[in-house]
Structure 1
Amino acid sequence: MTDLLTVDKLTAGYGESVVLEDISFSLKQGDSLALLGRNGAGKTTLLVSLMGITQRHGGSIRWRGNDINPMATHKRANAGLGWVPQERYMFPSLTVEEHLSVVARPGPWNIKKIYDIFPRLEERRSNMGNQLSGGEQQMVAIARALMTNPSLLLLDEPMEGLAPIIVQDLAQVIRKLISEEGMAVIVVEQHAKLALSMTQNAMVLERGRIVHQSDSVSLMADTATLSRLVAVS
Structure 2
Amino acid sequence: MPELLALDNVSAGYGESVVLDGVSFALQEGDSLALLGRNGVGKSTLLVTLMGLTQVHGGTIRWCDNNIARVPTYRRAHAGLGWVPQERFMFPSLTVEEHLTVVARPGPWNLARLYEVFPRLQERRANMGNQLSGGEQQMLAIARALITNPRLLLLDEPMEGLAPIIVQELMRVLQRLISHEGLSVIVVEQHARLALSLTRRAIVLDRGRIVHASSSQSLLDDAQTLDRLVAVA
TM-score, reference length from structure 1: 0.99
Q: How many residues align?
A: 233
- Tell me, yes or no, if the aligned pair for 1:12 and 1:19 is still in contact at 8 Å: yes
- Tell me, yes or no, if the aligned pair for 1:35 and 1:202 is still in contact at 8 Å: yes
Residue 121 (structure 1) shift: 0.5
Aligned to 2:181: 181
In 1, Cα distance between equivalents of 2:8 and 2:165: 38
Residue 216 (structure 1) shift: 0.4
Aligned to 1:43: 43
Aligned to 1:12: 12
- Tell me, yes or no, if the aligned pair for 1:94 and 1:129 is still in contact at 8 Å: yes
In 2, Cα distance between equivalents of 1:69 and 1:129: 33
In 2, Cα distance between equivalents of 1:93 and 1:13: 32
In 2, Cα distance between equivalents of 1:202 and 1:113: 29
For residues 148-168 of structure 1, what are the alpha-carbon distances to aligned partners after superposition, in whole Å with 9 as ceiling and x for unaligned? Answer: 100000000001110000001
Q: Gaps (5+ residues) in structure 1?
A: none
Q: CA RMSD in A?
A: 0.6
Aligned to 1:160: 160
Aligned to 2:123: 123
What fraction of aligned residue pairs are identical, expressed as a percent? 72
Aligned partner letter, 2:193: K
Aligned to 2:141: 141
Secondary structure of 2:3's counterpart equals coil
Structure 1 stretches of 4+ with a deviation exceeding 4 A read none
- Tell me, yes or no, if the aligned pair for 1:23 and 1:209 is still in contact at 8 Å: yes
Residue 29 (structure 1) shift: 1.0
Secondary structure of 1:219's counterpart equals helix
Secondary structure of 1:70's counterpart equals coil
In 2, Cα distance between equivalents of 1:70 and 1:196: 31
- Tell me, yes or no, if the aligned pair for 1:2 and 1:65 is still in contact at 8 Å: no
Secondary structure of 1:4's counterpart equals strand
For residues 108-153 of structure 1, what are the alpha-carbon distances to aligned partners after superposition, in whole Å with 9 as ceiling and x for unaligned? Answer: 1100010111011111111111110000000000000001100000
In 2, Cα distance between equivalents of 1:52 and 1:130: 27
Is 1:32 aligned with 2:16? no
For residues 58-77 of structure 1, what are the alpha-carbon distances to aligned partners after superposition, in whole Å with 9 as ceiling and x for unaligned? Answer: 10000001111221001100
- Tell me, yes or no, if the aligned pair for 1:36 and 1:192 is still in contact at 8 Å: yes
Q: Gaps (5+ residues) in structure 2?
A: none
